[in-house]
Amino acid sequence: MKLITAVIKPFKLDDVKAALQAFGVRGLTITEASGYGRQRGHTEVYRGAEYQVDLVPKVRIEVLCEDEDADDVIGVVVKAAQTGRIGDGKVWSMPVDSVVRVRTGERGPDAI
Protein backbone atom coordinates (compact mmCIF):
# COMPACT_ATOMS: atom_id res chain seq x y z
CA MET A 1 0.00 0.00 0.00
CA LYS A 2 1.07 3.55 -0.60
CA LEU A 3 0.28 6.93 0.85
CA ILE A 4 0.17 9.60 -1.84
CA THR A 5 0.65 13.14 -0.59
CA ALA A 6 0.08 16.12 -2.82
CA VAL A 7 0.65 19.78 -2.03
CA ILE A 8 -1.24 21.91 -4.56
CA LYS A 9 -2.68 25.34 -5.19
CA PRO A 10 -5.88 25.78 -3.21
CA PHE A 11 -8.00 26.81 -6.19
CA LYS A 12 -7.13 23.52 -7.91
CA LEU A 13 -8.60 21.45 -5.10
CA ASP A 14 -12.01 20.93 -6.74
CA ASP A 15 -10.43 19.81 -10.02
CA VAL A 16 -8.17 17.36 -8.26
CA LYS A 17 -11.01 16.02 -6.07
CA ALA A 18 -13.22 15.46 -9.14
CA ALA A 19 -10.43 13.77 -11.08
CA LEU A 20 -9.62 11.42 -8.18
CA GLN A 21 -13.26 10.54 -7.76
CA ALA A 22 -13.54 9.80 -11.45
CA PHE A 23 -10.51 7.57 -11.17
CA GLY A 24 -12.20 5.59 -8.40
CA VAL A 25 -10.50 6.80 -5.25
CA ARG A 26 -12.90 6.23 -2.37
CA GLY A 27 -11.49 8.54 0.25
CA LEU A 28 -9.04 11.31 0.80
CA THR A 29 -7.93 13.73 3.47
CA ILE A 30 -7.47 17.45 2.98
CA THR A 31 -5.38 19.76 5.15
CA GLU A 32 -4.73 23.45 4.80
CA ALA A 33 -1.00 24.03 4.65
CA SER A 34 1.53 26.70 3.86
CA GLY A 35 5.07 26.61 2.60
CA TYR A 36 7.46 27.54 -0.15
CA GLY A 37 9.60 25.90 -2.80
CA ARG A 38 12.19 26.88 -5.32
CA GLN A 39 10.61 30.28 -6.02
CA ARG A 40 10.71 31.05 -2.30
CA GLY A 41 7.05 31.74 -2.05
CA HIS A 42 6.86 34.39 -4.75
CA THR A 43 3.47 33.99 -6.30
CA GLU A 44 3.97 36.05 -9.42
CA VAL A 45 6.95 36.15 -11.68
CA TYR A 46 7.02 39.89 -12.10
CA ARG A 47 6.55 40.87 -8.48
CA GLY A 48 9.46 39.24 -6.78
CA ALA A 49 11.06 40.87 -3.80
CA GLU A 50 14.68 39.85 -3.65
CA TYR A 51 15.92 38.41 -0.37
CA GLN A 52 12.42 37.67 0.84
CA VAL A 53 10.92 34.28 1.49
CA ASP A 54 7.15 34.06 1.85
CA LEU A 55 4.95 31.20 2.98
CA VAL A 56 2.23 30.60 0.43
CA PRO A 57 -1.12 29.01 1.34
CA LYS A 58 -1.48 25.49 -0.09
CA VAL A 59 -3.73 22.49 0.21
CA ARG A 60 -2.35 19.13 1.19
CA ILE A 61 -4.16 16.03 -0.08
CA GLU A 62 -3.52 12.54 1.23
CA VAL A 63 -4.76 9.41 -0.49
CA LEU A 64 -4.21 5.76 0.46
CA CYS A 65 -4.08 3.31 -2.41
CA GLU A 66 -2.76 -0.08 -3.42
CA ASP A 67 0.76 -0.32 -4.77
CA GLU A 68 -0.27 -0.94 -8.37
CA ASP A 69 -2.54 2.14 -8.39
CA ALA A 70 0.05 4.53 -6.99
CA ASP A 71 1.52 5.73 -10.28
CA ASP A 72 -1.89 6.27 -11.80
CA VAL A 73 -3.14 8.25 -8.80
CA ILE A 74 -0.04 10.45 -8.97
CA GLY A 75 -0.64 10.95 -12.70
CA VAL A 76 -4.26 11.95 -12.09
CA VAL A 77 -3.30 14.49 -9.44
CA VAL A 78 -0.51 16.01 -11.52
CA LYS A 79 -2.73 16.33 -14.58
CA ALA A 80 -5.54 17.98 -12.63
CA ALA A 81 -3.35 20.32 -10.59
CA GLN A 82 -1.05 21.57 -13.34
CA THR A 83 -1.22 25.21 -14.44
CA GLY A 84 2.34 25.42 -15.73
CA ARG A 85 2.97 28.44 -13.52
CA ILE A 86 5.21 28.66 -10.50
CA GLY A 87 3.86 27.27 -7.27
CA ASP A 88 1.96 24.33 -8.79
CA GLY A 89 3.20 22.11 -5.95
CA LYS A 90 4.52 18.60 -5.50
CA VAL A 91 3.27 15.04 -5.27
CA TRP A 92 5.06 12.16 -3.58
CA SER A 93 4.32 8.66 -2.34
CA MET A 94 5.43 6.63 0.66
CA PRO A 95 5.09 2.95 1.53
CA VAL A 96 2.49 2.15 4.19
CA ASP A 97 2.94 -0.75 6.63
CA SER A 98 -0.58 -1.28 7.81
CA VAL A 99 -4.03 0.21 7.60
CA VAL A 100 -7.03 -0.53 9.83
CA ARG A 101 -10.59 0.56 9.27
CA VAL A 102 -11.66 1.67 12.71
CA ARG A 103 -15.33 0.75 12.51
CA THR A 104 -14.94 -2.84 11.33
CA GLY A 105 -11.38 -3.65 12.28
CA GLU A 106 -10.63 -4.68 8.67
CA ARG A 107 -6.93 -4.64 7.91
CA GLY A 108 -4.63 -4.17 4.91
CA PRO A 109 -5.98 -3.50 1.37
CA ASP A 110 -9.54 -4.27 2.57
CA ALA A 111 -9.37 -1.23 4.79
CA ILE A 112 -8.52 1.20 1.96
Partner 1 sequence: MTSFAADRAHRTTQTDRWLAELLGAVPGVALVAVGGYGRRELLPRSDLDVLLLHGGRDDIASIADRIWYPVWDSGAELDHAVRTVPQARRVAGADLKVALGLLSARHVAGDPELTERLRAGALEDWRSAAPARLAELHAVHDERARVHGELAFLLEPDLKEASGGLRDVHAIQAVAAAWVAPAPGPKVRTAYEQILDARHALHQVTGRRVDRLVLEEQDEVAVALGLLDGDVLLRMLAGAGRTVAYAAEHAFRQADRLRGSRLRRRRVERRPLADGVVEQDGEVVLARAADPATDSALVLRAAAAAAQAGLPLAPRTLARLAECPPLPVPWPAAARDALLSLLGAGRSAVGVWEALDTEGLITALIPDWERVRNRPQRNPLHRFTVDRHLVEAAAHAAALTREVARPDLLLLAALLHDIGKGWPGDHSVTGAVVAGDVGRRMGLPIADVELIAAAARHHLLLPMVATRRDLDDPVTVRQVAGIVGGRVLLELLHALAIADGLATGPAAWNDWKAALVADLVRRVAAVLAGEPVPAPAPLRDDQLALAADGGPAARVRGSEVTVVAPDRPGLLWRAAGVLASHRLMVRGANATSVGHTAVSVFDVEPEYGEPPDATLVAADLCRMLQGRLDIEERLQRRARAAPPPRTAVPAPRVTLVDGASETATVVEVRAHDAPGLLWRVGRAFGEFGLDVRAARVETLGAEVVDVFYVTDAEGKPLVDEEVRRGIVHAVLAALRDSATEGTQVPRSVPLVKLALFRSRRGSPRTPAPAARAGPEGLHSRPVLNNVPGSVAWGCV
Shorter beta-carbon distance to partner 1: residue 2 or 9: 9
Q: Are 87 and 9 in contact (CB under 8 A)?
A: yes
Shorter beta-carbon distance to partner 1: residue 3 or 86: 86
Asked if residue 48 binds partner 1 (CB under 8 A), the reply is yes
User: Which residues neighbour 15 within 8 Å (Cβ) at sequence distance 6 or greater?
Assistant: 80, 81
Asked if residue 44 binds partner 1 (CB under 8 A), the reply is yes
63 φ/ψ angles, rounded to the nearest 5 degrees? -135, 130
Asked if residue 43 binds partner 1 (CB under 8 A), the reply is no
Q: How far is the CB of 36 from partner 1 (least distance, A)?
A: 12
Print the binding letters for residues 72-91 with partner 1: x by CB under 8 A, - otherwise: --------------x-----
**∠ at Cα 35 (76, 61), nearest 5°?**
30
- How far is residue 49 from each of residues 25, 26, 39, 40, measured CA to CA in Å? 40, 42, 11, 10
- The binding site for partner 1 (CB under 8 A) comprises 38-40, 42, 44-51, 86
